[in-house]
Structure 1
Amino acid sequence: MNPYRLYLVTDDQQDLTTLKQVVKQAVAGGVTMVQVREKHGDIRAFIERAQAVKALLKGTGVPLIINDRIDVALAVDADGVHLGQSDMPVTLARQLIGDHKILGLSIEDENQLIEANSLPIDYLGLSAIFPTASKTNTKKHWGIEGLKMALHHTALPIVAIGGINENNIPALCKTGVQGLAIVSAICHAQDPKAASAYLLSLMQHASEIGEETD
């Protein structure tokens, strides 16, 4: 089972009630990992949101990942942390969370990609694949060709993030990328369960076509 396959990143603009509804439905639809993101700097709110999501994920086998904050991840005993390039250094983060937690790192350029191969991390978040309204401060857009290049330069699993939707999922999956991170296409769907199931079906179909053409 590949935990990175359909990786839900929560929308920090949604209130707690909406967040819980989205996560519950998305997991029912087949989401394989959930990252709770909170950019407002309110640590109590972050912990509350993380605890609420953790309770929903209990018994599902879906890992809970915390964005940026090691302290929040430790406070709620999350399954892992995802760090950006300006967050705590991953070597220090690994010491704090231990060897058994999942540790991901955002990669924004080729130099970071190469450096990541010698870091104590479990997966890479390649950002941003395409332009996206939910993240405007991106260094570059990798595109399909950039993703292919990245896959050739690391043995670590790659989760593609940024502007991913039903239109580009087939092309992305044909690259053999290990995971796709989704925000808007699930969080803003009228029916997050149906949206998640549909995206998974697109991924499955594209992967099968990719295998046939290899």
Structure 2
Amino acid sequence: MTYDLWEIRPQIHILTNYITACDVVNACLSVGATAIGGDALCECAQITENCDGLVINTGTPSPERLKVFLSSGKRANELSIPIALDPVGAGATDFRRDMLKELLAKVHFACIRGNASEIKAICEILGISKGEKVTQVFAGVEDTGSRLPKKDLLSLSKATKAVVVVSGENVLIADASSNLIYKLPGGSSMQKLFTGAGCMMSAIIGSYLGAAKKEDETDDYVNAIREGVLLYQINAARAELFCQNEKRLGTMEYKNALIDQLSLTRLSRRDRFRRLDTFLYAITNRDILQGEISLSEAVEQAILGGATMIQLREKNMTTTEYIKTAVKVNQICENYDIPLIINDNVEVCRVVGAAGVHLGLEDESIEKAREVLGRDFIIGATAHNLEEAKRALLLGADYLGVGAAFGSDTKKDAKPMMNLETYREITSSIPIPVVAIGGITGENLHHLSGLGLSGIAVISSIFGASDIKENTKSLKEKAKEEILG
């Protein structure tokens, strides 16, 4: 199930530390939840019972706050209200160890989210892993590089009956009930520039748990957690691209950009569409897939590698077959909050509810597509020169695909552009995003530097690769250097 928090509007009780309290509440608000932060012992349990979810963050602890945690936690358990635990600085002091030991003994948590050091400390507290005691006294509350065996994560999940989330370069989600560990994208290295990034993730997890509770999907908590983490991490990556593109590289610039990106989820796909959505535009071609991988799996690998938009391109299918394929691919894209564009077929786009459609010069007109789809769908168009670009703009296109930059392995009749300066001519005259397409690889990408492009559209270098995820990741890093420069 996909949760629309802006429609569900779960209310979350936030018991967090005073260092990151404002950011944590703003994180909840930015994704569509409502939040209340009352932490007085005389009222905390009553506040909890009127909420859909509870987040307990153990930063800035005290004996008095422990009483608050226990009071709200026990009341939440009595009413089957899901709780997310963020064990900030779990290994820092004896008091924090004793506090967490008592909390874990007396309160059941639906999710425990921490960095590797914090989760390792909890494993040590519960006797799951042995070895040198974890300490963060000098390292603060950031991950000190600790690594955890996957068996310990599943053991912790089993012992606590909680889904365990470990954040870091990648995010691991351990669920003992299914005996599975999910590995999700790590977002952005810029999250380390400010305190509270992990606290914000925990608050968003709590918001999604509250949404699942409010929708009576209490058996779906692991998927709600996964969806919340993905939303946060995908938008953390978008915020980094935005900051690099705008040359806003300061700590607070990034934090504000992250909250802004999260808040845009309230808008329709077209209203929230930005030029950076087209930054790494992956266009499918099932005929060049390597090995036994399915098209759906290939799309997911491209997204995990960093693709910012997907186009489903099926030239030899009936409309019925196209719709069946598009439904599967669209579900994957929605899971990762990535826009799906349907190539050439307005009807498939409409039926499936994809983000938009891309039309070639000989396809259905932009005006007719807008009439069929309405204002909330993205419409992209193909152009080869400034004249065609201006015409597409006047007809209402939201972005342009311009090529073929270097010819094409998938379209044999696509001739390389005679002059790449055509891109600069178009981007300097056209206000909508302009994407280069045609034979683009990591080796020739540098030729597109400084031309004002919003991104690159790639087929073979992604879907023809033996390792789609790693190739996409490598291509994205090179595009950051050349396109964002």
Structure number having the greater helix percentage:
2
**Who is 1:170 aligned against?**
446
Normalised to the residue count of structure 2, the TM-score between the two structures is: 0.41
Matching residue of 2:318: 42
Q: Which of the residues 277, 280, 286 maps onto 1:3?
A: 277
- Which residue of 341, 359, 366 corresponds with 1:90? 366
* 8 Å Cα contact 2:448-2:483 kept in structure 1: no
Q: How does 1:194-209 map to 2 (within 5 A)?
A: 194-207=470-483
Shift of 1:187: 0.2
Equivalent residues in 2 for 1:44-83, closer than 5 Å? 44-83=320-359
Instruction: Report the 3-state secondary structure (helix = DSSP H, G, I; strand = E; otherwise coil) of the residue aligned with 2:358.
Output: strand
Q: Residues 200 and 69 (structure 1 numbering): CA distance in 2 closer, same or farther, change over 3 Å?
A: same
CA contact (8 A) 1:108 1:140 kept: no
Cα 1:44–1:143 shift into 2, 3 Å: farther
Residue aligned with 1:131, SS: coil
Instruction: Output the amino acid matched with 1:58.
Output: E
Q: State the TM-score, normalized to the length of structure 1.
A: 0.90
- Corresponding position of 2:467: 191
Shift of residue 170, structure 1, vs aligned partner: 2.2
Query: One-letter code of the match for 2:356?
Result: G
Displacement of 1:155 after TM fit?
1.1
Deviations 1:50-103 (A, max 9, x none): 111112112311001000000110111111000011111101111111111110
C-alpha distance in 2 between matches for 1:17 and 1:97: 32
Q: Tell me, what secondary structure is at the counterpart of 1:124?
A: strand
Seen in structure 2, the aligned counterparts of structure 1 residues 48 and 173 have a Cα distance that, compared at 3 Å, is: farther
Q: How many percent identity over aligned positions? A: 33
Q: Which residue type is aligned with residue 126 of structure 1?
A: V
Distance 1:10 1:122 in 2: 21
The alpha-carbon distance between structure 1 residues 157 and 206, as it changes in their structure 2 partners (threshold 3 A), is same
User: CA separation of 1:207/1:69 partners in 2, compared to 1, >3 Å: closer, same or farther?
Assistant: closer
**Displacement of 1:184 after TM fit?**
0.3
Higher relative contact order by CA 8 Å / sep ≥ 6: 1 or 2?
A: 1
Contact 1:11 1:183 in 2 (8 A): yes
Per-residue CA distance 1:112-156 (angstroms, 9 max, x = gap): 122223121100010211111211233662542121122122111
Unmatched 5+ residue regions in structure 2?
1-237, 239-275
Q: Do the aligned residues in 2 keep the contact of 1:36 with 1:66 (CA within 8 Å)?
A: yes
Q: Which residue of 2 aligns with 1:24?
A: 300
Structure label with greater radius of gyration: 2
* Correspondence for 1:122 among 390, 393, 398: 398
Cα distance between partner residues in 1 of 2:402 and 2:295: 24
Q: Is residue 278–residue 455 contact of structure 2 (8 Å, CA) maintained in 1?
A: yes
Match status 1:136 vs 2:419: no
Structure 1 unaligned segments of length 5 or more: list them.
Answer: none
Cα separation, 2, equivalents of 1:54 and 1:85: 25
Shift of 1:7: 0.3
Task: Give how far 1:17 is off.
Answer: 5.1
User: Residues 141, 173 of structure 1: CA spacing in aligned structure 2 closer, same or farther, 3 A cutoff?
Assistant: same
Q: Measure the CA separation in 2 of the matches of 1:188 and 1:138.
A: 18
Residues 96 and 138 of structure 1, relative CA distance in 2, 3 Å threshold: same
Distance 1:41 1:59 in 2: 25
Mapping for residues 137-156 of structure 1, pairs under 5 Å: 137-138=413-414, 141=417, 143-156=419-432
126-135 or 76-85: bigger deviation: 126-135
The 3-state SS of whatever aligns with 1:7 is strand
CA offset at residue 13 of structure 1?
2.2
Q: What is the rounded CA distance, in whole Å, between the counterparts of 2:463 and 2:472 in structure 1?
A: 10
State whether residues 423 and 452 of structure 2, in contact with CA within 8 Å, keep that contact through their aligned partners in structure 1: no
The residue aligned with 1:102 is: 378
